[in-house]
Structure 1
Amino acid sequence: MNLFWICLSFLFLSVVRLNGADNGGWDTAHATFYGDMGGGETIGGACGYSDLFLQIYGLKTTALSTALFNGGATCGACYEIQCFNDPQWCAPGSIIVTATNFCPPNYSKPYENWCNPPLKHFDLSMPMFVKITKDYHAGIVPVLFRRVTCSRKGGIKFQMKGNQWTPFVVVFNVAGDGDVTAVSVKADGGGWTAMIRNWGQVWQTSEKLVGRSVSFSVTTSDGRTVQSLNVVPRNWRFGQIFEGNQF
């Protein structure tokens, strides 16, 4: 094989890898940032996490475009991201962030909004963005990304919300796949009942939970399930956070 065909084969394989085949799980997207070096907004968001510092995610977070957000089902998932194919702005190394918010599309600007379908896009906190770029002035950069296992300290956390008629629970600090696909609840004296995803990782039930000890069963997208029995005591109050078992 002469040099021409060797070079042509190498070029072909490189293009294949960058377009998602034979790439070790990596895919391509773009990334921008929000806020400033203080991190910007860390309260609220489309996943239902009320305080990202209280709920352990801090600034190591990202908002996802429609193509990745999956209607909130991807909340809690972890991604490894690295800048690529932009020598002017890319810095070496990668970051691992948790999906905690939604980057909404803007259909009035079909050629300017990177969060419009079908684009895959990450809107990072500025402290995370500057870890993979040489300077925040890069504005937007091409990235490689892949889903990775979430590493967490301690057990799954359950924050009791809502009211006595419609209790909610926010599920966070989930290891492994990170994104919760099903939650069931059991109050003392009763059986297991499936909860309904209200939005993001906020789950609701019509079961009466006030004044009763509560157990939760959590299933992640890889099909694994873990139960936290009587994790919430009878004297619990709305707003309290309780720690259960972990994957």
Structure 2
Amino acid sequence: MNKILGYFNKAIGTLIDYILQGFIYIVNFLVSIFSSFRQIIGLMLSMSGCLVLLFIFNPIFFGFLLSNPFILTIIILSVVVPFIGKIAVSYLKYIKYMATEYFYDKADFYLLGRRASFEKMEDYGKKYRDDMERERIKREEARRKREEEEFKKRFENMGGGTYWTFGDYGDFEEFFRQAQQGGGYYQGSYNGQYQNQGNYQGYTSSSFKSQYEQACNTLGVGYNADKYEIKLAYKKMAKMYHPDINKEPGATEMFQKINSAYEFLNDANIQKYKTMN
């Protein structure tokens, strides 16, 4: 009975996964198409310059738009779809994570005896939001560190000296502008500590890029997949090749390869690969 319930929950989770992933692909495709239209329209307007203004204020031009609903619709969608589409993708990823994690965990409980992380589906949604917030904070901290490091290099290239820390201003461009006021360096004291962590070096390394893309191929995800897509792909692949479930020859080796790929696709390497591209 437990196996029946386990496979039933796994089937529901897989079905939801495929359906929502399909919607995400469709919405992303539409966003890409209409974003391209918007760029073309913007390029045409910028090339036309002041001549466009004459047409805009010309009643004949408005009449032309109103008499061509197809063109008017394309223009409106080119503005609306990219904005709404990004919001829709964000919500679809949230629902996908919440639902699939819930049903996959229930399948693990019945098939492998693993206790589910949460009892209610909304608790998985809360975890997703918390993870996203932590990821946002990490990205913000990384951005600030990169800006501080960039300022340090730019300052040293100008001849060195004493200078205020980035935190004294909170805005990188304002910080750099103040440092050059009066035709010289903004005097003060530098109290920050900079360490070369290696996270921002070697971004052109072909070996890292090749290893990263190979790991993505192993899990069957795109090279630009986020941590949640990678996690879901890993869980599906791990269940498929788990030695307790899959008794076929080579399943154990594949399971180990999947685990190695997932360990390599950690947050730091995801960010590093995105920075390289």
The alignment's TM-score, normalised by the length of structure 1, stands at 0.22
Query: When you count strand as a share of all residues, which structure comes out higher?
Result: 1
- Which gives a bigger RCO, structure 1 or 2 (Cα 8 Å, sep 6+)? 1
Query: When you count helix as a share of all residues, which structure comes out higher?
Result: 2
Larger radius of gyration: 2
